[in-house]
Structure formats: structure tokens, C-alpha cells
Structure 1
Amino acid sequence: MNQQPLAHDESSNQAFSTLKPKLEQWRKFNKKLISNKMAVFGGVIVIFYVIVALFGQQIAPYDPLAIDLANKLQGPSAQHWMGTDDKGRDMLSRVIFGTKLSLGVGIVSVTIGAFFGIILGLISGYYGKWIDTIIMRFIDILLAFPGILLALAIVSALGASLVNVMIAIGIFSIPTFARIVRGSTLGAKKMEYIDAIRALGASDMKIIFVHILPNILSPIIVQGTLRLATAILSAAALSFLGMGAQPPSPEWGAMLSGGRDFLWSAPHVATFPGLAICFAVLGFNLLGDGLRDALDPRFQK
């Protein structure tokens, strides 16, 4: 009668003792991140953009595609807070709807790059030898081309569209993730616990994806956050050049391209999409830097 509660207490204590180091590690990470004012500022910007992207349809005061030629190129006013473009469309509504497009392009393209980059980096770092040589030479070939030029070449071959922009940015994001994951894997596979797991008969796939990958997530998370800023900026650049989103899509880069003809007569048409891109990139960069400082053991106290 008395043994069952004791067994339950022992199991509870064991679970708590296992969870306690993780809670302590999370507490230190949270304290370190919050103490970084610039990281908090970046996080607030990112959260704001995410909210706008999720609830843009409810927030936007007008249809972003509704044409009203009688009110074209109007400056900011109580009726149109960011003015109107050359077709009379409300700029605020277009910037709001463009948030979902730009964040979506960034997230999808970074996911593509991270997926293939992580797999290549894990295989290269774990197996080494000729496999490592082949994969790394392929990565070197991709790195030989400037990212935006490689993306331009891919989009030119596939055709101008937002989907192809995501594919192109995803492809030129692969080398960054692959090199970071490879370096982390080289260090992780030399740890004693990996030797012990291998001695117990664990398969290579289990060692790679169950034991190594979870322990090298920190640099991947940091790089993913920073890469989102690059992806948003690259997508806007491609759309500005006419290779991405096509009119009348309310994408920031396309809006910026359309507003360059009115820089003197109606500067607000290009200014507000440009500010949206600027703050989005700033937010992800600040947050990424803060995550790097909080997750890097060299910065832990």
C-alpha cells in the first residue's frame, strides 16, 4: 500500500530533475534576450508585422486593388493616411496587404533554403571524406555567384513570378545553411555521448536527426532569422526589377518600382513601401543579432 506512492514520487522527482536544467537554460536565455534592448525593439517590430500580415484583411480600410482615378496621387490625408497611387488606390491598404506577401515570400524561401541546406550540411559533416568533398564543391559553386545575380538567373530561366522568386531565393540560401550546419555537425559528432550512442548500435539516421540536429539548432535559428531579412530585401529587389510580383499585386518591391516615376510629384508613392521594407529588414536583423547573443554559449554568464 505504501510502495505505490513512493514509486510515483520517485518518478515525479526524476522527471523534475530532468526538466529543471532545461527550465534554467530557458530562464537564462529569456533573461539575456530581454536585457538586450535592441533585440526587444526588433522583436516588437517583427511581432507588429506578423499581426498586420495575419489580420491585414480586417485592418485595411480599402480594397488594395480598387481603382479611383478621380483621387489619384493624393498626398496623405485623414481619408487616405498614406495617400493614393497613380491609379487612385489607397496606399495604406496596399502596404498592409503587401506585408503578408513579403513575409510569406521570406518564410517560404528561407524554409526551402534551410531544408536542403540542413540536410546537405548534416550529411557532409557527419560522413566526411568523398561525400563531404562532393557536397562542399557544389556549395562552393553556388557561393561563387553573388546571391542576387544567381536569383536573377534562376528567375530568368523559370519566368517572372512570385513563386519562382521564392524558389530562386531559397536556392541561393542553401549554401549559408549548409556551411553552418556542417561546421556544427563536425563539432557535435566528436562528442562523447555520440560515441556512446553509436556503441549502443544506433543507426546513422537516428544519430544525425535525433541526437545531432536538436543540439545544433541554435545557429540554425539565428541564421534563419537573419536570412529572413535578406530574403525580404531580395524579393523586393527582384520585384522592383520586374522579375517578381506583377502589377497590380500589392507587393512592396513592385509598389516601389511603380512609385519611382513620381518621386518629385508624389514622393509618398515610393516612400511608404520603402519604409515598410526598411523596418522589416531592421526588425529581423536586430532580433537575429539578439538571438545570436542569447544562444551563443560564449555570451552566457
Structure 2
Amino acid sequence: MGSTVNQKPAREEEIGAPESRWKSLFKKLIRNKSSLIGSCILIFFLLVAAFAPFLMTHDPNSTDLLNDFETPSSENWFGTDHNGRDIYSRIVYGTHLTLYVGTVSVAIGAAVGIVLGLFAGYYGRFVDTVIMRVADVLLAFPGILLALAIVSALGASLNNVIIALSIYNIPVFARIVRGSVLEVKSVEYIEAIRALGAKDGKIMFQHILPNVSSPVIVQASLQIATSILSAAGLSFLGVGVQPPTPEWGAMLNSGRSYMWDSPHLTLFPGIALVLVVLGFNLLGDGLRDALDPKSKK
């Protein structure tokens, strides 16, 4: 009877632990001003992307050369560009492209990098050496230059931009996961699971991976901001998303020749880009503080 009394609280604590951790994380994020502001910014742009067809006032690719370079007005809220296209509608339409490129490239890079980092940290020796040396070679190049080289080789398109950014993101996550795995795999309960005959795959993905997820989550939010900037940079250089697709970097490139006479051509896409990147960075800072067990209240 005494053993039953002792086991019940343990089971209740084990079942309630994940929920309490998520509740604790949510409360920390709500109390953190950075994450709260960043979340509000991102929710706003997510809603814009989701309801873009209802928010647009004009066809984003419809040209009207008789009304080019119009300043902001009640008819064209952000004005028109050199082809008479409504800038507001193009920014609204381009929101989902910007978020899509950033999230998908990071998701692919994180998925591959996590697996490589797990193998490198868990097995060590030859596996670790090969994976980390390849990662070092990729990280030796600045991100935008590496992506530029890959896109130049594959060709300018949306999918190739995602591929290029994904390749750059892989070593970033591989190094983070590998370092965390080196700390976790020597913990006593991992040794106990291994002694019970658990297979390596189960140990890595069911027991080690959940314990190294915190730095991955933080890095993912920050890396999305980096990927969005890199994608816009590639489009600005003319090797990313091609006109007339209303991507923010491409809009900055098309408006830079007229920025002194018609600054609204670059002002509004630039503001949108800055706000999205700021939102992800603020959210990443808040997640880092919330997931850090050593952070102060």
C-alpha cells in the first residue's frame, strides 16, 4: 500500500509535466515585452497573408501607365510604381511570399541539420569529423554569398532561392544540435536507457532530441529573419524572385532608380521588410529568455 501511495504522485507529475512546461513557457512569453511585441507584429502579417485576397484594393500585377508614380492617395494608399501598379496591393500580396520563403527554407534546413547534428554528436569520431568539416566549409562563406553562388548555378527562381537558403541553414542547426547532444548524451538517464538495450535511433529521437529542442527553437525564429533578409537581398540583386512577382526585395530593386523623385516606391516595401524581420528577432529574443533556465524572473 505504501508503494502505491509513493507511485501515484510520480505518475501525476509525469503526466502533468509537459502541460505545465508549456503553460510556464506561455506565461513567460506573455510577460516578456520583446516576445509580446514580436508576436503581435507577426500575427498581423500572418493575418495579412491569410486574408490578402480580401485586403487588396487592386490587381497587384495590373499596370496603368497613365497613373504611374502616383503619390499615396485615397485611391492608391501607398501610391503607384513606375508601371502604374498599386504598391499597397503588391505589398499585401507579397507578404505570403516573404513568409513562405523564410519559413520553408528554415524548416528544410533545420530538419536536415538536426539529423546531421544528432548523428555527429551521438556517434562522434569519424562521423562527427566528416559532418562538422563539411559544415565548417559551408559556414566559411557569408550566407548571402553562398546563397548567391547556389542560385547563380541553379538559376533565378523562387524554388531555387529556397534551396539555396536551406543549404546555408543546414550547418547552422547541425552545429547547435551537435553541441547540445554532446552535453546530453552523457547524462545518467541516457546511459541507463542505453544499458536497457534501447536502439540508437530511439535514444536519439525520443530521448535526446526533446532535450536539445530549446536552442533549436530559438535559432529557428532568428534564422527565419535572416533567411527573409537574404531572400530579399537575392531578389534585389536580380537573381531571386523575378518580376513582375510582387516580392519585397524585387520591389526595392525596381524602385531604387526612382527613389529620389518617388521615394514611396522603396519606402513602403522597406518598412514592411523591416517590421517582419524585427518581429522574428523580438520573438527570438523572448524565446531565448523564456527557455533559458538560468534567466531571471
TM range (shorter): over 0.9
Percentage identity across paired residues of the two chains: 58
Flag the 1:189–1:87 CA change in 2: closer, same or farther, 3 A. same
| One of 150, 161, 179 as aligned partner of 2:146 | 150
What TM-score results when the alignment is normalised by the length of structure 2? 0.95
- Are 1:88 and 2:81 counterparts? no
**Maintained 8 Å contact 1:53/1:97:** yes
1:20 corresponds to which residue? Answer: 16
1:59 corresponds to which residue? Answer: 55
Flag the 1:184–1:77 CA change in 2: closer, same or farther, 3 A. same
- Are 1:252 and 2:223 counterparts? no
2:205 corresponds to which residue? Answer: 209
1:291 corresponds to which residue? Answer: 287
CA offsets 1:108-130 (integer angstroms, 9 cap, x no match): 11112101111110000000011
Give the alignment of 1:192-203 within 5 angstroms: 192-203=188-199
Point out the more displaced range, 282-291 or 57-66. 57-66
1:38 corresponds to which residue? Answer: 34
- Are 1:164 and 2:165 counterparts? no
- Are 1:121 and 2:117 counterparts? yes
Give the alignment of 1:259-278 within 5 angstroms: 259-278=255-274
Alpha-carbon offset, residue 211 of structure 1: 0.9
CA offsets 1:10-66 (integer angstroms, 9 cap, x no match): 999776432333333233322221111121001100111111111111211111011
**Maintained 8 Å contact 1:294/1:300:** no
Report the secondary structure of 1:116's partner residue: helix
Q: Which amino acid aligns with 2:96?
A: K
CA distance in 1, matches of 2:186, 2:95: 44
CA-based RMSD of the aligned residues comes to 1.8
Alpha-carbon offset, residue 299 of structure 1: 1.0
- Are 1:238 and 2:237 counterparts? no
Q: Which amino acid aligns with 1:56?
A: A
Q: Which amino acid aligns with 1:85?
A: D
- Are 1:281 and 2:277 counterparts? yes
CA distance in 1, matches of 2:139, 2:285: 23
Unaligned 5+ segments in structure 2 are: none
Q: Which amino acid aligns with 2:200?
A: D
CA offsets 1:214-247 (integer angstroms, 9 cap, x no match): 1111111110000000000000000000001111
Alpha-carbon offset, residue 167 of structure 1: 0.6
- Are 1:228 and 2:234 counterparts? no
CA offsets 1:154-210 (integer angstroms, 9 cap, x no match): 011101111111111111111110110001111110111111111111100110111
**Maintained 8 Å contact 1:252/1:274:** yes
Alpha-carbon offset, residue 300 of structure 1: 5.5
Point out the more displaced range, 76-85 or 24-33. 24-33
CA distance in 2, matches of 1:23, 1:143: 37
**Maintained 8 Å contact 1:165/1:244:** yes
